[in-house]
Structure 1
Amino acid sequence: MNKEERITMLREAPIPQLLLKMGLPTMIGMLVTGLYNLVDAYFVGGLGTSQMGAISIAFPLGQAIVGIAVMFGGGAAAYISRLLGERKNKEASHVASTALYSSVFIGYIVIILLLCFLDKVIWGLGATETIFPYAKQYAIIYIASSIFNIFNVTMNNISSSEGAVKVSMSAMLLGAGLNVILDPIFIYGLHMGITGAALATAVAQIVTAIMYLFYIVKKKSIFSFSPKEIRFESKIFKEIFKIGIAILVFQLSTSVAISLTNMASQPYGDSAIAAMGIVTRVISMGIYAVFGFAKGFQPVAGYNYGAGQYVRLQSATKIAVRWTTVFCFLMALLMILFPHPVISLFTTNDEAVIKIGSLALRVNIITFVFYGMEAIYSMLSFALGKALGGWVLSAGRQAVFFIPVILLLPQFMGLNGVIAAQPIADIITIVIMGILAVKLNGEIERCANAQVVFV
């Protein structure tokens, strides 16, 4: 599909067909991102509970670093979609280049700082004496190679905003496939242990970056990504940060939430840290899937809002909410029925890990049923340039509501308090999401009623 065809598709394709074309590839691409973490957990789980705990400790660091990419990439994507809808392609190209180079530069600085203070950071994230040496081995490579992931995630967002979702899907699939192949070879075949897991992920991310570079060099994008296109203009950064900082808050709050969960689990030993890490990764697969589809929905919403096609926007929102809710319900049902087999995949028959993980998975998956609505309305807020709604949903679930709960509840309920913290925070977020949904739906309805019916 060439550049003009992608824009025509956003403007004219039937909504169900458009959502499938835009949503499924980004959904697969995000699932691939989750697969990196799940594959590492699966193969590292065979090394032992302390090694499994080590990657649970390192996981939030990767999340925090990628937050830089989603801030620039996600913020730019929302703005780019609206600009393309307004036929302002030149301005959109300036935004794309500025976001890409800025994310890589800032990311490089953050990675250097983290590596300089790595020991203190790992201890601060809740590592035990037995977990620390493995966590450090893994984190050094994992963090250093994240510069490629910053580039990849930024490009994923920008290419999706112009409708090139298959490019992102192909790049991410290639990287994930390579990671699956290299993990057992490096970990067990070459006897590299947890270091092998980190190297496999690094190689996969480098290959994905090469795919995106090929996309740029071959000029298949609407944008040139030339340094000459960079514009240090306050308007561009204001629009990027208006949405991007809200997405960054979501990413950082996720990282903080995982770190606080690890710290709250520390008194109950390596098995508790490993179990909660497994549950986080399993549920993250569902979150990645829904969030990926929502990312595909975002340019559809942004473009049609920018083009004044409110009836199409209204239809797309209703269908997206319906589809994601059905998916969330089915996944929740599956996890509630079969928690033991799922948790057992990631441990060498550690009964404590299986027991804690199975209970935590059942408890935490219940509120996941509503995550589809939360993701769609969050993306809708960003796509429409309404940062406040995105801020509330992004910061609420794993920051404003979760942090006080995870700090207080374990004091009264012990390990059960750790397990119940996220669902309680989710319930509060669901109420806020319902209020935001009513407000956004009402605004779109008024715009649609005032519009000449789009044919």
Structure 2
Amino acid sequence: MDYSGKRHFILNGSMPKVILTLATPIMFNNFIQTLYNLADTFWVSKLGSNEVAAMGLVFPFIFLIISIGMGMNVAGTALISQHVGNDDNSSAKMVAGQIFTFSLILSTALGAIGYFATPYLVGIVKGEPEVLSLSSQYLSIMFLDMPIVFLFFVYNSIKQGQGDTYTPMVLNVCGVLLNIVLDPIFIFTFGLGIKGAAFATIISRGIFAIYAIYTLFSNKQPIHLNRKNLKLKKDLLFKILKVGMPASIGQSAAAFGFIILNAFVISYGTATLAAFTIGNRINSLVLMPAMGIGSSIATIIGQNLGAGKNDRAKLAFKTSVYLSTLFMVAGSIVLLMASRSVVGIFVKDDPEVLNQGIRYLRLICIGLPLMGIFQILIGTFQGSGHTGYGMALEMGRLWGLRIPMIILFRYLTGWGSDSVWYAMLLSNFFICIVGYLIYLKGTWQEKVILEKAVS
């Protein structure tokens, strides 16, 4: 389907078909990405529980930096999709160029700062000396990956804004498959241990990110970059940041919140953190359909609002909630039945990690439909460009609900490490209620683009 065909399909096609057509490549990409995460965890687990805990401990730091790039990705998808819906390719190209230049500068600076600040960052959290040492080794290398990650976000936002979720999926899948191959080579054959996992990630992502960037400058693409687009324009960049910053702040606040969350988790012991890390990796596999639908709805909402089809945008939300709930209920049933077998794949000789991992996974399964609805709400608000609502939900879920609940449960109950799992379940329930009330207000339907092209 060509560019004009995709636009017509998104604006006029059967809504369930539109959602699933756009979401399926994202789902498959998430599936492959999750397989990579599981494979990464599998190979690292061969080194020991300390290495698994070390990866889990520093992931929020990585996500904290990546979240800034994700904000630019959200802004790009929202603005480009609305310009495409408004049949304004000139403005879409200018937005794409601004995001590319700004992301390149920002990611290089953040990667360099993070690399040299790694010992101080790891020192924020408490843990066993060996775990902290391994965390520092892994994190310092992963900071070198930031420019690659940010620029691939740019590519993804440009393509997704046009309704092309297939091409980014192909490149991501190729990178992930290469990563899975390189992991055991760098970890064991080269004897690099946990550092080998980080090097394998950078190399596999970098190869395909370079190709993706190259295609952005090809004039065969309907929305492509040139030198004129790359020159920063103050007014347009400010508008992009106005849309992107709330998403970045929300993601960053959530990432920092997970650092605090990890501090609470590790206070119950390394086994609890290892179980938490393994459980989250498995849980993300089941959550991928909802994440795919949540990502695809941003494009659908953006293009339909840009074209003035507000009723169709609301239809997209309702249909997405329905589809997501079906997927999540089915996934929960399967995971509940197979929880012991699945966790057992990653834990062989540590009964404590095995038992805590099973317990965590079973509790989280109960709330999977809520997590799916949360993804749809975030995708709706991000696609409309009203990213402040998404920021409020992300920050409120963690800082307003989950962390305070963990503190209360820790000191007022005898639930032990289970108090963390209960807090996660309840925070998802309450934030979905808040998100739906915001949706009912209807202010998210207002356009964030100008009717005339940006010059």
Provide the TM-score with structure 1 as the length reference. 0.90
CA distance in structure 1 between the partners assigned to 2:425 and 2:237 by the alignment = 35
How far the C-alpha of 1:288 sits from its partner, in A, is 4.4
How far the C-alpha of 1:186 sits from its partner, in A, is 2.0
CA contact (8 A) 1:65 1:110 kept: yes
CA distance in structure 1 between the partners assigned to 2:390 and 2:90 by the alignment = 27
Please name the residue that 1:371 is paired with. 371
Seq. identity, %: 23
CA distance in structure 2 between the partners assigned to 1:341 and 1:256 by the alignment = 32
Amino acid at match of 1:392: A
CA contact (8 A) 2:374 2:428 kept: no
How far the C-alpha of 1:152 sits from its partner, in A, is 1.3
CA distance in structure 1 between the partners assigned to 2:220 and 2:361 by the alignment = 43
Please name the residue that 2:96 is paired with. 96
How far the C-alpha of 1:124 sits from its partner, in A, is 1.2
Please name the residue that 1:347 is paired with. 347
Please name the residue that 1:120 is paired with. 120
How far the C-alpha of 1:70 sits from its partner, in A, is 0.9
Compared CA separation, residues 190 and 387, structure 1 to 2 (3 A)? closer
Q: Any idea what the Cα deviations from partners look like across 1:382-427, whole Å, max 9, x if unmatched?
A: 2223334323322222233223223443234432222322112112
Please name the residue that 1:74 is paired with. 74
Please name the residue that 1:269 is paired with. 269
Count, aligned residues: 445
Please name the residue that 2:431 is paired with. 429
CA contact (8 A) 1:151 1:209 kept: yes
Amino acid at match of 2:356: I
CA contact (8 A) 2:28 2:169 kept: yes
CA contact (8 A) 2:29 2:169 kept: yes
Q: Which moved more, 1:213-222 or 1:289-298?
A: 213-222
Matched, 1:40 2:40: yes
CA distance in structure 2 between the partners assigned to 1:319 and 1:220 by the alignment = 34
Q: Map of 1:160-179 to 2, 5 A cutoff?
A: 160-179=160-179
Provide the TM-score with structure 2 as the length reference. 0.90
CA distance in structure 1 between the partners assigned to 2:220 and 2:409 by the alignment = 52
Gapped regions of structure 2 (runs ≥ 5): 446-455
CA distance in structure 1 between the partners assigned to 2:395 and 2:262 by the alignment = 20
Q: Any idea what the Cα deviations from partners look like across 1:87-136, whole Å, max 9, x if unmatched?
A: 22111111111112212211111111111121121121334212022212
Please name the residue that 1:228 is paired with. 228
Please name the residue that 1:453 is paired with. none
Q: Which moved more, 1:245-254 or 1:303-312?
A: 245-254
How far the C-alpha of 1:287 sits from its partner, in A, is 4.0
CA contact (8 A) 1:54 1:127 kept: no
Compared CA separation, residues 198 and 60, structure 1 to 2 (3 A)? same
CA distance in structure 2 between the partners assigned to 1:85 and 1:39 by the alignment = 39
Compared CA separation, residues 257 and 323, structure 1 to 2 (3 A)? same
SS of residue paired to 2:187:
helix
CA contact (8 A) 1:174 1:208 kept: yes
Q: Any idea what the Cα deviations from partners look like across 1:44-82, whole Å, max 9, x if unmatched?
A: 111111011111112112211211211111112101111
Please name the residue that 1:449 is paired with. none
Q: Which moved more, 1:334-343 or 1:102-111?
A: 334-343
CA contact (8 A) 2:114 2:140 kept: no
How far the C-alpha of 1:212 sits from its partner, in A, is 0.8
Compared CA separation, residues 247 and 98, structure 1 to 2 (3 A)? same
CA distance in structure 2 between the partners assigned to 1:198 and 1:348 by the alignment = 24
Q: Which moved more, 1:168-177 or 1:61-70?
A: 61-70
Compared CA separation, residues 92 and 317, structure 1 to 2 (3 A)? same
CA distance in structure 1 between the partners assigned to 2:46 and 2:422 by the alignment = 28
SS of residue paired to 1:251:
helix
Question: 1:439 aligned to 438, 441, 452, which one?
Answer: 441
CA distance in structure 1 between the partners assigned to 2:38 and 2:253 by the alignment = 20
Compared CA separation, residues 287 and 143, structure 1 to 2 (3 A)? farther
How far the C-alpha of 1:160 sits from its partner, in A, is 0.6
CA distance in structure 2 between the partners assigned to 1:406 and 1:388 by the alignment = 26
Amino acid at match of 1:43: W
Compared CA separation, residues 93 and 202, structure 1 to 2 (3 A)? same
Gapped regions of structure 1 (runs ≥ 5): 445-455
SS of residue paired to 1:207:
helix
Q: Any idea what the Cα deviations from partners look like across 1:215-262, whole Å, max 9, x if unmatched?
A: 224344332223421364454334433432232234223322332232
SS of residue paired to 1:191:
coil
Please name the residue that 1:448 is paired with. none
CA contact (8 A) 1:264 1:410 kept: no
Q: What is the CA RMSD across the aligned residues, in angstroms?
A: 2.4
CA distance in structure 2 between the partners assigned to 1:23 and 1:120 by the alignment = 40
Compared CA separation, residues 61 and 22, structure 1 to 2 (3 A)? same
CA distance in structure 1 between the partners assigned to 2:328 and 2:159 by the alignment = 26
CA distance in structure 2 between the partners assigned to 1:96 and 1:36 by the alignment = 29
Please name the residue that 1:58 is paired with. 58
Amino acid at match of 1:10: I
Matched, 1:149 2:145: no
Matched, 1:259 2:259: yes
CA contact (8 A) 2:115 2:141 kept: no
Q: Map of 1:394-405 to 2, 5 A cutoff?
A: 394-405=394-405
Q: Any idea what the Cα deviations from partners look like across 1:340-359, whole Å, max 9, x if unmatched?
A: 22222223421111111111
Q: Any idea what the Cα deviations from partners look like across 1:129-154, whole Å, max 9, x if unmatched?
A: 12022212211222212321121123
Q: Which moved more, 1:397-406 or 1:114-123?
A: 397-406
Please name the residue that 2:449 is paired with. none
Compared CA separation, residues 58 and 356, structure 1 to 2 (3 A)? same
CA contact (8 A) 1:23 1:292 kept: yes
Amino acid at match of 1:114: G
CA contact (8 A) 1:328 1:368 kept: yes
CA contact (8 A) 1:43 1:346 kept: no
CA distance in structure 2 between the partners assigned to 1:33 and 1:65 by the alignment = 19
Amino acid at match of 2:253: S
Please name the residue that 2:308 is paired with. 308
CA distance in structure 2 between the partners assigned to 1:284 and 1:6 by the alignment = 29
Compared CA separation, residues 438 and 410, structure 1 to 2 (3 A)? same
